[in-house]
């Protein structure tokens, strides 16, 4: 079972209000997810977008995650194993930022066969542009607050 995931995060201020958007595609089935948080960072939103999509999968899959976040791709493909081996400190001997999210991604990577694909952001990639739109709409919805009846 091969699934495509597209994800993006956005932040209004960094830190600031952040939003994330994801698209899951399996064959002809497409599902969009999005959300927002108060005081957060762009990197956390990039990671949260991927996590939310991966957590939405109901069984182990081969997954192609496409993102414009080099932080996310390099973290998962180049840095994670070293951080774990060194006790969650980076090359500067400082605690790894966003460890809670990296650990969630690590657990998800143990469940799924994940291929991490980087694309240049804001460069016309249809699904990446849609994820950015979802993330920005989530920020605006968060700022407006709950509506009547919520």
For the question of residue 68 being annotated catalytic, the response is yes
Per the residue annotation, which of 68, 75, 112, 127 is the catalytic one?
68
What lies within 8 Å, CB to CB, of 43 at 6+ separation is 9, 69, 71, 72, 97, 98
Rounded CA separation 78/60 (Å)? 23
Rounded CA separation 105/28 (Å)? 26
For the question of residue 46 being annotated catalytic, the response is yes
For the question of residue 150 being annotated catalytic, the response is no
28 annotated ligand-binding residue: no
39 annotated ligand-binding residue: no
For the question of residue 132 being annotated catalytic, the response is yes
68 annotated ligand-binding residue: yes
Per the residue annotation, which of 4, 8, 37, 127 is the catalytic one?
8
150 annotated ligand-binding residue: no
Residue the block writes with tokens 């990577």: 109
Per the residue annotation, which of 9, 19, 21, 75 is the catalytic one?
9
- The residues annotated with a catalytic role in the active site are 8-9, 46, 68, 122, 132
């Amino acid at each position: 079972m091969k699934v495509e995931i597209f994800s993006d995060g956005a932040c209004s201020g960094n830190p600031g209000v952040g939003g994330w958007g994801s698209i899951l595609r399996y064959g002809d089935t497409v599902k969009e997810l999005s959300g927002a948080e108060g005081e957060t960072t762009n990197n956390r939103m990039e990671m949260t977008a991927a996590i939310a999509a991966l957590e939405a999968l109901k069984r182990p899959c081969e997954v192609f995650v496409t993102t414009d976040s080099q932080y996310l791709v390099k973290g998962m493909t180049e840095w994670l194993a070293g951080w774990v081996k060194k006790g969650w400190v980076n090359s500067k001997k400082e605690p790894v930022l966003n460890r809670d999210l990296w650990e969630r991604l690590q657990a998800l990577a143990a469940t799924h066969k994940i291929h991490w694909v980087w694309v240049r952001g804001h460069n016309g990639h249809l699904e990446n542009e849609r994820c950015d739109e979802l993330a920005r709409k989530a920020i605006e919805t968060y700022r407006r607050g709950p509506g009547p009846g919520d």
